[in-house]
Amino acid sequence: MAHAIVSFLLDQLKSIPQDQVKEKWRLVTGVEQEVEKLTKNLRAIQAVLEDAEQRQMKQDKVVTLWLDQLRDASYDMEDVLDEWITETRKLQLDEGRDDDDANAFVTLLTKVCYFFPAASNCFGGFKQLSLRHDIAVKIREISEKLDEIAARKDRFNFVENVINSVKKPERERTISLIDEGEVCGRVDEKNELLSKLCESSEQQKGLHVISLVGLGGIGKTTLAQLAYNNDE
């Protein structure tokens, strides 16, 4: 569960620079560095989550508490990103409205803003400034929490990418040479298979395939080896 949340947050954080292409949509100074630090911490945490969640299943209470704190911080970060994306889209929609819809009061404010352009860009300026500051404060607070969580992970000596470090069992290798004297109860099946192979080779040219189908362990490979080693 925690792995999915962290992966989602990393994807969301990648979209922030795209939303900040225009200067007016930028967060306040310094938040870009906080976002970079958040991303770095989340990636470091993501690398050990497989091991952490396995320990949680083994009833490791300290690790479980650490994961709970990580989830809480991740959910808080998700809320902040949702707020940022939603409010940014609202401001973009407001900016794209037709000037013909403006009432007399708005027209008056437009004239005032013409003479005082530095007043936070008038329309939406105060709102944008407040929004940027609010988002920035929340990001910094969550970044501090994740700093502590990322630092505490080193106490547990987690194994990175434990799922990839587990050696997969190799299939047992087989050879075509077998001792027919050790094979029991496959004479009829072998003769039937040889008959089909010889019959098909006489009737048609080219490669002919006969499939041996059945449950694992019933001797399909052995039967194929018997046919392969037969002189016919």
The more confident residue out of 11 and 205 is 11
Give the C-alpha distances (Å, rounded to integers) separating 157 from 42, 51, 69, 161, 162. Answer: 17, 10, 18, 13, 12
CB 144 within 8 A of CB 41: no
Give percent of the chain with pLDDT exceeding 70. 51
Residue 148: which pLDDT band, with cuts at 50, 70 and 90? Answer: very high
- Hey, is 162 helix, strand or coil? helix
Which pLDDT does position 5 carry in this prediction? 66
Which pLDDT does position 129 carry in this prediction? 61
Which pLDDT does position 182 carry in this prediction? 60
Which pLDDT does position 104 carry in this prediction? 46
- The whole model's pTM is what? 0.51
The more confident residue out of 121 and 91 is 91
Which pLDDT does position 174 carry in this prediction? 52
Specify the range with the lowest mean pLDDT, choosing from 78-87, 99-108, 139-148, 196-205: 99-108
Q: Which of 38, 37, 54, 40 is nearest to 3 (CA)?
A: 54
Burial 103-136 (b: 16+ CB within 10 A, else e): eeeeeeeeeebeeeeeeeebeeeeebeebbeebb
The more confident residue out of 192 and 111 is 192
The answer on pLDDT for 144 being more than 60 is yes
Give the C-alpha distances (Å, rounded to integers) separating 21 from 27, 62, 122, 217. Answer: 11, 42, 21, 62
- Mean pLDDT confidence for 176-205: 68
**Long-range CB contact pairs, 46-49, < 8 A, 24+:** 46/3, 46/6, 46/7, 46/10, 47/160, 47/161, 48/153, 48/156, 48/158, 48/159, 48/160, 49/2, 49/3, 49/6
CB 149 within 8 A of CB 70: yes
Cα angle 62, 65, 69; round to 5: 140
